[in-house]
Chains A and B, each alone.
Chain A
Amino acid sequence: MVSRPHGGRLVKRVVTGKRLEALREEAKELPRIELNYDLAVDVENIAHGVFSPLEGFLVQEDYVHVLYDMRLSNDVPWTIPIVLDVDPEEIAGVREGDDIVLVYNGEPLAIMKVEEIYGWDKKEHAKQVFKTTDTGHPGVAKTMQMKELLIGGPIDLIGHVPSPSFEKYLLWPEETRVLFREKGWKTIVGFQTRNAPHRGHEYVQKAALTFVDGLFVHPLVGWKKKGDFRDEVILAAYEALIKHYYPKDVVVLAVLRTAMRYAGPREAIHHAIVRKNFGCTHFIVGRDHAGVGNYYGPYEAWEIFNEFPDLGITPMFIREAFYCKKCGGMVNAKICPHSSEHRLRISGTKIREMLLKGEKPPEYMMRPEVAEAILSFDKPFVE
């Protein structure tokens, strides 16, 4: 059976039918808050249960628990605060208990019941979530630019944030749960990525797939830092890899629309929880998962899982792969007896440099079909 949703119940706050018409009408009279893309997609994520058990943006009690204990106030593990920041003037006249309408691109997206309006300490937030207050960290820099107040409360979805390039790959937890069941999969491993796949990724995915029924490749699309692969490029690269190198019917490719936080170990737990909601029973945790620069130790994202015996999804820690000339294939340090002179490291940075120059990386680093898919884009990287 696919995994139990986090917190015990898959949240669904998507309004349909006659109530939808009524709420859209009601929305015309309510105070409006315009959301940016990242917040808007997180509203949809909440409504479709991606962030189960959250029913809305965090109220203060939950926020404080998440910040210091990495759990919600009901003890359920939760590591990344999902918050809605506002300026005081945006909510002038709005009081706790009021309904407001969350708007994206001028269109009503959701009705929110404002349960609480509260202040927050951005530096403390950064220190707890990112383990640094250095604004060189992209997550910290973004936090410091956020607005002065947070508002918490449940939301009801009455709109949709279109993503024309990814609509085909946009699946919600209830859909993947049915899909996995229809495929007869009982054990599913989730793979989080923000990169086009190289041979190391392929090795890790296939190693994990050996032990389970299905692989759920779930690239994150949304805000990323400069120099990361563009979302369309990641998808095209995975399409090529799956088509040429994976058996049919053991892989599902879909996208997760949410921003990277670069919160390292905390975000590794968050990524696992989200995939649990999609029905995954296992989750591949990478070396320096969701890390950036040298802010986190290479295995911190593995170690943090020891603190959560009640996570409800099994982490799979698979060592980094390299090509060994003597073994004649992709291996890892645990299974290769040869010395470093025989080993060729798969460097993401080196691959990027080559692709930027329009060069195809060598085959031991990246499958030629994948490289071709990437090079078919004029600008494969975020600028």
Chain B
Amino acid sequence: MGERGKSKGKYTTVSIPITLYNRIKELIKDTGFTSVSQYVTYVLREIVAAHEEAKYSEVFSEEDKKRIIEKLKKLGYL
């Protein structure tokens, strides 16, 4: 991670089965990942982001929407 992580002291421990740990250790050999923790962080961020994405729905009030559409029409975008 080079100099990254210099904001230090912000790590915590999560337990995973040793069997899984060993499996990941084997998997990341000769990849860009330098540790199991780095790999797990990467995968978790990917999954968490996907879950957050799935939960999102865009909401505009009718009033806002009307105001925006009027502006867009005036500017020639619609």
Contacts and interface: CB of A to CB of B under 8 A. Distances in A.
**Are A and B bound to each other?**
yes
Interface of A: 1-2, 4, 8, 64-65, 67-70, 73, 75, 128, 168, 171, 174-175, 177-179, 181-183, 252, 306, 309-312
Interface residues of B, number: 28
B30 interface: no
B7 interface: yes
11 contacts: A2-B58, A8-B56, A68-B4, A68-B5, A68-B7, A69-B5, A177-B60, A179-B72, A252-B77, A310-B46, A311-B49
A252 B77 CA distance: 8
Interface in B7-61: 7, 32, 42-43, 45-46, 48-49, 52-53, 56-58, 60
B52 A8 contact: yes
A174 B3 contact: no
Contact of A179 (B43, B49, B77): B77
Nearest to B53: A4
Nearest to A8: B52
A69 B7 contact: yes
Interface of B: 3-7, 32, 42-43, 45-46, 48-49, 52-53, 56-58, 60, 64-65, 68-69, 71-72, 75-78
Given A64-B7, A174-B64, A179-B72, 12 more contacts: A4-B52, A68-B3, A68-B4, A68-B6, A70-B4, A168-B75, A177-B60, A182-B69, A183-B78, A310-B46, A310-B48, A312-B53
A231 B37 CA distance: 46
A177 B59 CA distance: 11
B70 to A, nearest CB: 11
B69 A128 contact: no
Among B7, B45, B60, which residue has the most Cβ atoms of chain A within 10 A? B7
Given A175-B71, A178-B69, A309 B46 contact: yes
Contacts of A168: 75-76
Contacts of A69: 4-7
Given A8-B56, A178-B72, A309 B45 contact: yes
Contact of A174 (B7, B52, B53, B60): B60
Contacts of B56: 4, 8
A177 B69 contact: no
A48 to B, nearest CB: 12
A40 B32 CA distance: 41
A128 B49 CA distance: 26
A312 B49 contact: yes
Contacts of B32: 306
Contacts of A309: 42-43, 45-46, 49
A118 to B, nearest CB: 14
A252 to B, nearest CB: 7
Contacts of A1: 57-58
Contacts of B76: 168
Given A68-B3, A69-B5, A310-B45, A178 B68 contact: yes
B53 A65 contact: no
A168 B72 CA distance: 10
A179 B3 contact: no
A311 B49 CA distance: 8
Contacts of B64: 174
Contacts of B52: 4, 8
Contacts of B75: 168, 171
A67 B71 CA distance: 38
A181 B60 CA distance: 11
Nearest to A7: B52
Contacts of A306: 32
Among B5, B58, B72, which residue has the most Cβ atoms of chain A within 10 A? B58
Nearest to A169: B75
Contacts of B65: 178
Nearest to A309: B46
Nearest to B3: A68
Nearest to B56: A4
A33 B69 CA distance: 35
A311 B52 CA distance: 11
